[in-house]
Amino acid sequence: MGSINNIVIAGAGTMGISLVQIFAKYDYKVTLYNRATPSLEKAKKQIVFSQENLVSTGMATEEESKRVVKKIKYTTDKNVFKDCDFVVETIVEDMDVKHTFWNEISSIAKEDAVLTSNTSGLSITELAKAVKKPERFAGMHFWNPPHLVPLVEIIKGKKTTDETADIIYKLAEDIDKKPVVLQKEINGFIGNRLQFAVLREAVNLVEAGVASAEDVDKAVKYGIGFRYACIGPFETTDLGGLNTFNNIAKYLLPQLSNAESMPILEKKVEKGQLGVKSGQGFYDYKNGKDKEAIDSRDEKFIKLYKTFYQKG
């Protein structure tokens, strides 16, 4: 496999729009591919808007931002895959749609191009069944918003070679991400397994009447979440003392939730209460409170990013 220079991001949605800006920032030749032009037109506008935002929050200089905008190419032409070195597929989360995409694209791409999917949790081995030369295919899972969240999970399918995983790892490091490699496949990878273990317990605490959603959120933000932005669970345990954590585990683990569904969540979804996107979730987002919530999150994420990760 040759060196990586020419990258195609396939899918001009939430993730694709952000990912293409990251690779342009780090001077890769990068193209945003989508099957239809209207999404690309929308993406172009959103990229300009997003860059303006980065400049106004001090995440990029005006000069850097102009260079990024200029560098990104847009296309609906599948020939773009012919001479690219690396693909990040970030189209809709649907096995059949992704199979159709990979079946075609992996035959167009050079045999030594590295091919990745940003799937949130579909099986890489299953996806790879549609890929020509599946040894050069792996999961490359970014976290939203990918220009701020440092983690990239690299997931090897049964046929993915170590060489492929190494190339993805180095590329992720080159764009200043913090990659981790899953040596074998598991649903939800690492991040979503941990996220859903916490969410299951959080929902259980609310359903059991132990605390309100607001207080559970406070306990996370000002307790475990405060720590977890800086140290992981194993570091936390080392610092707290393994004997103490072991004693707590003995009586607490049997009492933790092992629920296989989350009734509160199901009821809210049935009522159309989908969160920020519908104006109501666990909290009320009507009358401009949706924008406030997003702005407040972004402002905090940017502060965190600047404190721990921004170079220079």
Ligand X SMILES: NC(=O)c1ccc[n+]([C@@H]2O[C@H](COP(=O)([O-])OP(=O)(O)OC[C@H]3O[C@@H](n4cnc5c(N)ncnc54)[C@H](O)[C@@H]3O)[C@@H](O)[C@H]2O)c1
Can you tell me which of 21, 31, 51, 90 binds ligand X, judged by CB under 6 A?
90
From the list 6-14, 48-56, 161-169, 249-257, the region that binds ligand X by CB under 6 A is 6-14
Does 37 contact ligand X by CB under 6 A? no
**How many chain residues bind ligand X (CB under 6 A)?**
21
Are the C-beta atoms of 98 and 157 separated by less than 8 Å? no
Classified as helix, coil or strand, 256 is coil
DSSP element (H, E) containing 115: strand 114-117
Does 10 contact ligand X by CB under 6 A? yes
157's tokens: 């399918």
Does 91 contact ligand X by CB under 6 A? yes
Can you tell me which of 27, 41, 62, 93 binds ligand X, judged by CB under 6 A?
93
Can you tell me which of 31, 34, 116, 280 binds ligand X, judged by CB under 6 A?
34
Does 172 contact ligand X by CB under 6 A? no
Q: Kindly identify the residues of this chain, within the stretch 111-130, that bind ligand X according to CB under 6 A.
A: 118-120
Catalytic residue among 25, 136, 141, 177: 141
Which residues touch 307 (CB under 8 Å, ≥6 apart)? Answer: none
Closest CA to 138 of 158, 109, 108, 111: 158
Residue 141 falls in the annotated catalytic set: yes
In terms of CB distance, is 38 or 312 closer to ligand X?
38
CA atoms within 13 A on the CB side of 51: 25
CA distance 265 to 203: 8
Does 13 contact ligand X by CB under 6 A? yes
In terms of CB distance, is 231 or 294 closer to ligand X?
294
Closest CA to 105 of 84, 74, 75: 84
215's tokens: 């207080």
Closest CA to 268 of 245, 284, 291: 284
Does 39 contact ligand X by CB under 6 A? yes
Does 12 contact ligand X by CB under 6 A? yes
148's tokens: 């701020």
Can you tell me which of 4, 11, 51, 81 binds ligand X, judged by CB under 6 A?
11
The whole-angstrom distance between residue 234's C-alpha and the CA centroid of its chain comes to 23
CA distance 232 to 307: 17
User: In the bound complex, what is the minimum distance in angstroms from residue 192's beta carbon to ligand X?
Assistant: 9
User: In the bound complex, what is the minimum distance in angstroms from residue 92's beta carbon to ligand X?
Assistant: 4
Does 14 contact ligand X by CB under 6 A? yes
Q: Which residues bind to ligand X, rule: CB under 6 A?
A: 10-16, 34-35, 39, 90-93, 97, 101, 118-120, 142, 144
Q: Which residues are catalytic?
A: 141
